[in-house]
Chains A and B, each alone.
Chain A
């Protein structure tokens, strides 16, 4: 067979097809399927197919390793075999379209949701919910870690007046059906957490000196901080809580100094006069 069977574009389509889709997408000008031997040279030690196989094997193994790095807690939770299965299917369905590997897993949580085995059943298993939430949390952490923001390097005094407090530039709030933050923290501390039972949880993620801080918070605190992120003052956020959750004003005022202290220490707040308008 003539070796110049492909244009440059066809050749690249053919090779990429062999790597990503395990089959050629382009067949050049040939009427019959193009054999690897017609495109690739054999060498003293390897056949043409073996030469191509080095690229084929490395393609999936390389990206699988990246997925493993980006979703290390999920890989632990699923076990390496099951994680690899999901990762390989994901990479097959959503091959990378970006010049950066940091976004490789962007669609992974949605993919896990789309492909859950019980998707069409009314009664669902619970463990996939945990895995999907954990995947979403891990990807969110990688985004927060590298997001552009005015880094909060200042210390906000504990006695800052309430009206001068505002949410820190990097403060992200999460609400889950599983104790995702606790699980992740245990894993990242080198422990071997067990698969948790469903338990509604809330957490806050901050970034200080370019390092992430992860905090499990209470539901009321989550809604209070959400309210402040929507532009409300401390006073208005308190009023929101009272109105929405029937909190007793006296109870909230009693607990507020404790909240305020822990929120400032955790870096949830910065003082308006110290950082920005």
Chain B
């Protein structure tokens, strides 16, 4: 077990930094295939492709020949008390064999119990019982996939009274106990910090930086009393500042911009990503989007309707 953990840990530390990447969205399929834009790499949502026998899989095959690809999942449900879904894991492994991703990632969350899937990234209780449960499942998943898995800190909108460990500590223990890697979503840290009264700067300082292989950045909606992780707009100044800090602390890792709602044209999406270059040093020369508040009931966390296939009719 210890040998395996060290093997996974070494593999995580040896992963490359492919640069600045974008999420593959069906709206941009044609543009990418026709124009071969100069994007360093693409992140694909695993569940969108693992069952596909049609256009999504066809596009992915072509994309994987041209660009490095990372597989990012939303349904592993590593924190659930349900048994691991072997059918899902088998399909995930088969897809990885075909796509040959740089790495496979998912979230520190649970998505449902009793065989239901809420399709949300629900918060885990952060205590010793939960840590043991999750580490045990990470070991099983990694051994099944025969590779380390990378886990992302989710946006959270509540904390449990039963939690006894801070999230950054929980993530650190996870990496130490299993050899897994981390995907640091700096926007999620900002969102969770505001919602749950913690300092995002302190959080980022406390993480095991040598286990972070990727970062996410994204836009969010500030509702005054709370922030919703909407992935539907530009990245705000405070999140860029956190990115800049994380970039310095990690020494620079693969970075991806998420944009899942109100998805803009490809060049707008790409240009927002390229702003990251100006935040890799401490000298800022870019106009930054400042936070504005939008009150209303319409904001939805983790939008997923982009995950439903866009049927293309001739």
Contacts and interface: CB of A to CB of B under 8 A. Distances in A.
Contacts of A13: 113-114
A177 interface: no
A54 B122 CA distance: 11
B162 interface: yes
Task: Specify the main secondary structure of chain A where it touches its partner.
Answer: helix
Interface string A54-79: 11011101110110111000000000
Contacts of B297: 57
Contact of A62 (B51, B226, B302): B302
Interface string B117-148: 11110100100011001000000000000000
Interface in A148-191: 148-149, 151, 185, 188
Contacts of A104: 308
Nearest to B129: A8
B2 interface: no
Nearest to A54: B157
A70 B308 contact: yes
A211 B158 contact: no
A207 B54 CA distance: 9
Nearest to A13: B113
B159 interface: yes
Interface stretch (B80-88, B199-207, B279-287): B80-88
Given A145-B312, A212-B313, A38 B161 contact: yes
Interface string A14-30: 01100110000000000
A64 to B, nearest CB: 9
A211 B51 contact: no
Contacts of B133: 8
A16 B305 CA distance: 20
Contact of A146 (B53, B122, B195): B53
A146 B52 contact: yes
A217 interface: no
Contacts of A214: 313-314
A61 to B, nearest CB: 5
Nearest to B132: A8
Contact of A211 (B50, B228, B298, B312): B312
A100 B85 CA distance: 13
Given A8-B133, A51-B157, A45 B226 contact: yes
A126 interface: no
Interface size classification for chain A:
35 or more
Contacts of A261: none
A68 B51 contact: no
Contacts of A213: 313-314
B112 interface: yes
A145 B311 contact: yes
Most buried by A among B81, B162, B226, B304: B162
Interface in B193-220: 195-197
B58 A142 contact: no
B18 interface: no
Contacts of B157: 51, 54-55
B32 to A, nearest CB: 15
Contacts of B303: 62, 65
A15 B122 contact: yes
Given A12-B81, A15-B122, A211-B314, A4 B58 contact: no
Contacts of A40: 158-161
Nearest to A51: B158
B55 A146 contact: yes
Contacts of B119: 62-63, 66, 96, 101
B309 A146 contact: yes
A120 interface: no
A205 B159 CA distance: 50
A147 B160 CA distance: 42
Interface in B263-314: 297-298, 300-305, 307-314
Contacts of B313: 141, 185, 188, 211-214
A208 interface: yes
A273 interface: no
B56 interface: yes
B110 interface: yes
A29 B303 CA distance: 35
Contact of B51 (A8, A61, A146): A146
A188 B32 CA distance: 24
Those 7 A-B pairs whose CB atoms lie nearest each other, nearest first: A148-B53, A210-B55, A99-B75, A51-B158, A3-B161, A146-B54, A65-B305
Given A20-B118, A210-B54, A211-B313, 7 more contacts: A11-B162, A16-B122, A46-B195, A62-B120, A104-B308, A210-B58, A214-B314
